[in-house]
């Protein structure tokens, strides 16, 4: 690596812009787990949420600020005192924290959303930055919809917020409208026309509506941006955000071209990508760059021949550089603690002793049912979300009977308050019947939106993962579970959803 390469900061917004997108909501323990994984990945800034959005968001940002060490912890706020004070309070326990204030600047937003004139926008942006400076020295400002803002006006806004104390100015392509060449010109324009531009770090934030978020972000770096805002697997509003793993590997693979580098530990990319996919239920397309299942698979004969002679004939990155070290060795019931621990490490996961003890227990139970355990099985054991064993309800018994077109199920549930409830349900099939029995037992009747089953590994005794998506009181929830029995997986996934609903109702009642 060249030593004179400029450092580009990686600002991860998986927990804010990513989490805001439909179907990607996470519980607080899940957000903490992702934040800890991001810290290990080596991101420079974690945008943990939008504290003023809801009490739950505030709590989550505060938990990340208290428990996650290393990166700067950031919270988003609109340009008003209420939002900024909430963000400051949520963040104050983090040794290094940043307040990120934003205000839209484009004509279309000024007119239709804010109903504010240009001078009012500048006044409000300056005011927001100044209020934030009372709490914190590290202030980022984003002119929302910057890429559709008149260049001259954008330059005025940027100059004014830097004078007011913004230390980072982020240029968002909020609607994913710009193209690489044009976006680079925008950055060049700002560097040339904003008098005090050297006093702030320029940042870029792109959306992928036209599939150019990564390309646009890279061109911004070429034109002087020194912070990239991105999300794991590119999750985010609509088509998503700039994907962290792609932008990081592009800079790493072509470091000489960009003459810039990031501080990311690329070998953690694959595990973090799997973790976020598993928690949000957003699958990674097989052909996704860098972390897709096929990203390093060579099927065609000509390629394989070249690969055998020399990997670099067709490979610009090595699988181990992104943390992919698939081993063909399978584990079984005679595998000991050491072998399991070693495999978990090879798969890129860092888990503590308490968690390992739980995983090992479950590993032994699974190994009794299943002869061979593949990497997919081990990942499922490690990733099994806390929601499934942290909720108020636990599955203590499940029986099903099914005949032609009808089925009955009996579930026995225990509650953390000491109750044991047993109920029956009837339905078209055993899964349907078990869901009805859980509804009877818990009194919760969420609307089932989607139900998916997939096999996690190979063989007829493979673990089946069930994923359940429901709506309840205008919120969406997702639950998943993997066991060797699909009816049991489905029942546990549904129970996880019920646990989440009950926990969130409790949190709302307390707020
Ligand atoms: Zn965004």
* Beta strands at 201-206 and 168-173: parallel, antiparallel or unpaired: parallel
- What is the pLDDT confidence band of residue 511, given thresholds at 50, 70 and 90? low
Residues 128, 80: contact at Cβ < 8 Å?
yes
Distances 162 to 194, 265, 405, 503 between C-alpha atoms, Å: 10, 32, 68, 43
Are 143 and 252 part of one and the same domain? yes
Question: Mean pLDDT, to the nearest integer, of 297-325?
Answer: 73
- Residue with token string 């599939």: 211
Are 245 and 341 part of one and the same domain? no
Q: What is the mean pLDDT of the chain?
A: 90
Are 45 and 141 part of one and the same domain? yes
Query: How many angstroms does the Cα of residue 133 sit away from the middle of ligand 1?
Result: 23
Higher pLDDT, 376 or 169: 169
Quote the CA–CA distance of 19 and 23 in Å, as a whole number: 8
Quote the CA–CA distance of 102 and 109 in Å, as a whole number: 13
Whether 295 is in a domain gets the answer: no
3 state SS of 14: helix
Q: Domain of 194: which CATH number?
A: 3.20.20.70
Query: How many angstroms does the Cα of residue 146 sit away from the middle of ligand 1?
Result: 11
Whether the per-residue pLDDT at 230 is higher than 80: the answer is: yes
Report which DSSP code applies to 375.
H
The confidence score (pLDDT) of residue 327 equals 55
Length of the chain: 511
Quote the CA–CA distance of 195 and 188 in Å, as a whole number: 13
Task: Measure the CA angle with vertex 61, ends 59 and 62; round to 5°.
Answer: 60
Query: How many angstroms does the Cα of residue 276 sit away from the middle of ligand 1?
Result: 18
Question: Mean pLDDT, to the nearest integer, of 219-233?
Answer: 98
Q: Domain of 358: which CATH number?
A: 1.10.238
The confidence score (pLDDT) of residue 2 equals 47
Query: How many angstroms does the Cα of residue 173 sit away from the middle of ligand 1?
Result: 8
Whether 1 is in a domain gets the answer: no
Whether 493 is in a domain gets the answer: yes
Query: How many angstroms does the Cα of residue 17 sit away from the middle of ligand 1?
Result: 5
Of 356, 383, 410, the last residue of a domain is 383
Whether 469 is in a domain gets the answer: yes
The confidence score (pLDDT) of residue 218 equals 98
Quote the CA–CA distance of 90 and 306 in Å, as a whole number: 55
Residues 145, 118: contact at Cβ < 8 Å?
no
Are 366 and 461 part of one and the same domain? no
Beta-bridge partners for 49:
75
Torsion of CA 388, 468, 504, 496, to 10 degrees: -20
Query: How many angstroms does the Cα of residue 76 sit away from the middle of ligand 1?
Result: 11
Quote the CA–CA distance of 212 and 500 in Å, as a whole number: 36
Task: Measure the CA angle with vertex 286, ends 280 and 289; round to 5°.
Answer: 90
Are 379 and 446 part of one and the same domain? no
pLDDT in tens, 197-217: 999 999 999 999 999 999 999
Are 354 and 307 part of one and the same domain? yes
Question: Mean pLDDT, to the nearest integer, of 99-119?
Answer: 96
Query: How many angstroms does the Cα of residue 70 sit away from the middle of ligand 1?
Result: 24
Nearest to 236 by CA among 173, 146, 149, 170: 173
Residue 438: give the domain boundaries. Answer: 387-510
Q: Which residues of 205-222 are buried (b: 16+ CB within 10 A; e: fewer)?
A: bbbbbeebbbbbbbbbbb
- Residue with token string 């008003």: 80
Are 166 and 266 part of one and the same domain? yes
Of 249, 280, 311, the last residue of a domain is 280
The confidence score (pLDDT) of residue 97 equals 98
H or E element in which residue 510 lies? helix 486-510
Taking the alpha carbons of 32, 38, 44, 49 in that order, is the dihedral positive or negative?
negative
The confidence score (pLDDT) of residue 3 equals 56
pLDDT in tens, 250-300: 999 999 999 999 999 999 999 899 889 888 878 889 899 999 878 887 655
Query: How many angstroms does the Cα of residue 325 sit away from the middle of ligand 1?
Result: 33
Whether the per-residue pLDDT at 91 is higher than 80: the answer is: yes
Query: How many angstroms does the Cα of residue 253 sit away from the middle of ligand 1?
Result: 26
Quote the CA–CA distance of 193 and 187 in Å, as a whole number: 10
Are 260 and 351 part of one and the same domain? no
- Residue with token string 């949420």: 49
Are 191 and 274 part of one and the same domain? yes
Are 32 and 56 part of one and the same domain? yes
Query: How many angstroms does the Cα of residue 321 sit away from the middle of ligand 1?
Result: 28
- What is the pLDDT confidence band of residue 461, given thresholds at 50, 70 and 90? confident
Whether the per-residue pLDDT at 26 is higher than 60: the answer is: yes
Query: How many angstroms does the Cα of residue 230 sit away from the middle of ligand 1?
Result: 9
Query: How many angstroms does the Cα of residue 249 sit away from the middle of ligand 1?
Result: 21
The confidence score (pLDDT) of residue 388 equals 47
Query: How many angstroms does the Cα of residue 191 sit away from the middle of ligand 1?
Result: 23
Query: How many angstroms does the Cα of residue 206 sit away from the middle of ligand 1?
Result: 7
Query: How many angstroms does the Cα of residue 291 sit away from the middle of ligand 1?
Result: 22
Residues 99, 170: contact at Cβ < 8 Å?
no
The confidence score (pLDDT) of residue 308 equals 64
Query: How many angstroms does the Cα of residue 267 sit away from the middle of ligand 1?
Result: 26
Whether the per-residue pLDDT at 304 is higher than 70: the answer is: no
Are 266 and 185 part of one and the same domain? yes
Whether 286 is in a domain gets the answer: no
Count structural domains, the chain: 3
Higher pLDDT, 90 or 474: 90
Whether the per-residue pLDDT at 508 is higher than 70: the answer is: no
- What is the pLDDT confidence band of residue 1, given thresholds at 50, 70 and 90? very low
Of 326, 353, 383, the last residue of a domain is 383
Higher pLDDT, 22 or 177: 177
The confidence score (pLDDT) of residue 325 equals 66
Q: CA-based diameter of the chain, in Å?
A: 78
């Amino acid at each position: 690596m060249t030593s004179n390469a400029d450092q580009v900061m990686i600002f991860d917004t998986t927990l804010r812009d990513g989490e805001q997108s439909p179907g990607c909501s996470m519980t607080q323990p899940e957000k903490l787990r992702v934040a800890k994984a991001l810290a290990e990945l080596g991101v420079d800034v974690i945008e943990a949420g939008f504290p003023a959005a809801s009490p739950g968001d505030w709590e989550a940002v505060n938990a990340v600020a208290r428990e996650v060490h290393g990166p700067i912890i950031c919270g988003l706020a609109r340009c008003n005192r209420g939002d900024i004070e909430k963000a400051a309070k949520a963040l104050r326990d983090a040794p290094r924290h940043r307040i990120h204030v934003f205000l839209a600047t484009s004509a279309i937003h000024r007119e239709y959303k804010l109903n504010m004139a240009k001078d009012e926008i500048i006044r409000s942006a300056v005011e927001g930055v100044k209020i934030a400076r009372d709490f914190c020295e590290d202030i980022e400002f984003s002119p929302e919809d910057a890429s559709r803002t008149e260049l001259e006006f954008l330059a005025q806004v940027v100059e004014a917020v830097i004078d007011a104390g913004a230390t980072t100015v982020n240029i968002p392509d909020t609607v994913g409208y710009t193209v690489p060449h044009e976006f680079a010109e925008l950055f060049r324009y700002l560097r040339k026309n904003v008098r005090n531009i050297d006093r702030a770090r320029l940042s870029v934030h792109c959306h992928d509506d036209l599939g150019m978020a990564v390309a646009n972000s890279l061109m911004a770096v070429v034109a002087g941006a020194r912070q990239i805002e991105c999300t794991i697997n590119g999750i985010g509003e609509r088509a998503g955000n700039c994907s962290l793993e792609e932008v990081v590997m592009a800079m790493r693979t072509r470091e000489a071209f960009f003459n810039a580098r990031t501080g990311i530990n690329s070998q953690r990319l694959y595990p973090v990508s799997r973790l976020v996919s598993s928690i949000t239920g957003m699958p990674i397309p097989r052909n996704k760059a860098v972390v897709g299942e096929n990203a390093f698979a060579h099927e065609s004969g000509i390629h394989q021949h070249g690969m055998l002679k020399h990997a670099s004939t067709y490979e610009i990155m090595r699988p181990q550089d992104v943390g992919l070290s698939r081993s063909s060795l399978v584990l079984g019931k005679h595998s000991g603690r050491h072998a399991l621990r070693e495999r978990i490490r090879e798969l890129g996961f860092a888990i503590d002793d308490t968690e390992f003890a739980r995983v090992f227990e479950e590993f032994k139970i699974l190994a009794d049912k299943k002869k061979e355990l593949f990497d997919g099985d081990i990942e499922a054991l490690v990733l099994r979300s806390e929601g499934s064993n942290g909720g108020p309800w636990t599955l203590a018994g499940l029986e099903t009977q099914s005949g032609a077109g009808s089925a009955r199920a009996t579930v026995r549930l225990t509650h953390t308050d000491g109750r044991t409830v047993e109920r029956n349900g009837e339905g078209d099939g055993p899964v349907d019947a078990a869901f009805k029995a859980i509804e009877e037992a818990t009194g919760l009747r969420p609307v089932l939106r989607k139900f998916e089953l997939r096999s996690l590994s190979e063989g007829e005794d493979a673990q089946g993962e069930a994923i359940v998506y429901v709506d309840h009181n205008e919120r969406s929830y997702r639950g998943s579970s993997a066991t060797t029995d699909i009816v049991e997986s489905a029942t546990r996934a549904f129970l996880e959803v019920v646990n989440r609903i009950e926990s969130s109702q409790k949190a709302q009642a307390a707020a």
